[in-house]
A = this chain, B = another copy of it.
Amino acid sequence: MNIATDTRSRIIAAAKPRFHSRSYANVGIQEICESAGVQKGSFYHFFPSKRDLVLAVVDEFADEWANGFVAEAFDPALPPMERIDYLVDAAYFWQKSIKQVHGRMLGCIFGNLTLEVSTQDDILRAKLLAIFSRAKSRFKDTLEEAVAAGTIAPLDADRTAEAMLAYLEGVILLAKSQNDPEVIYRLAPAIKTLRVESAA
């Protein structure tokens, strides 16, 4: 294990929960460095700027998701629409466990950052957009499979996928405003009622 790599990942590890639980602007480099046991000069050896750090943090969160819940949920062995149930459940249990540990519902870091920085940093916005885009693809593939299998009536899979992603983010937002993961539990299942019809 390279020492350099270790310092870099300690920085990221210290930054992740902070950006998630507070906000980009509210978390300072100094605090991250102190928590990671790293000097500020060292920080800037590995990250040219604060933005580069948050970019790396976002990547880590994205990987974590892609290899965790999301991979489980979108398991091809599952019937397509059950994958969506699984994902919704995972979102609920995740937020619930965060609240139990942390006392707060932190929501989705991608949504959080999107609303905070989209107007101020196009590079960061592009990164977030790419993540949403991948998420949308997962939904889309699932919907197309469900249509092919006759589980659901034909629809505009692309737009419905986007709508479902939007709905999920919106439900998490509302839950965060109430600091209550149960909002996810009672609203999120309705995601399957969303439909955008195919163009004629």
Contacts and interface: CB of A to CB of B under 8 A. Distances in A.
Residue among A25, A107, A169 facing the most chain B CB atoms (10 A cut-off): A169
A189 to B, nearest CB: 8
Given A120-B26, A167-B167, A170-B169, A114 B176 contact: yes
Interface string A110-125: 0110111111100001
20 contacts: A23-B25, A23-B117, A106-B119, A115-B115, A115-B116, A118-B177, A118-B179, A119-B176, A128-B177, A162-B174, A162-B183, A163-B167, A169-B170, A169-B174, A170-B170, A170-B171, A173-B173, A186-B196, A193-B193, A193-B196
Given A25-B26, A195-B193, A187 B163 contact: yes
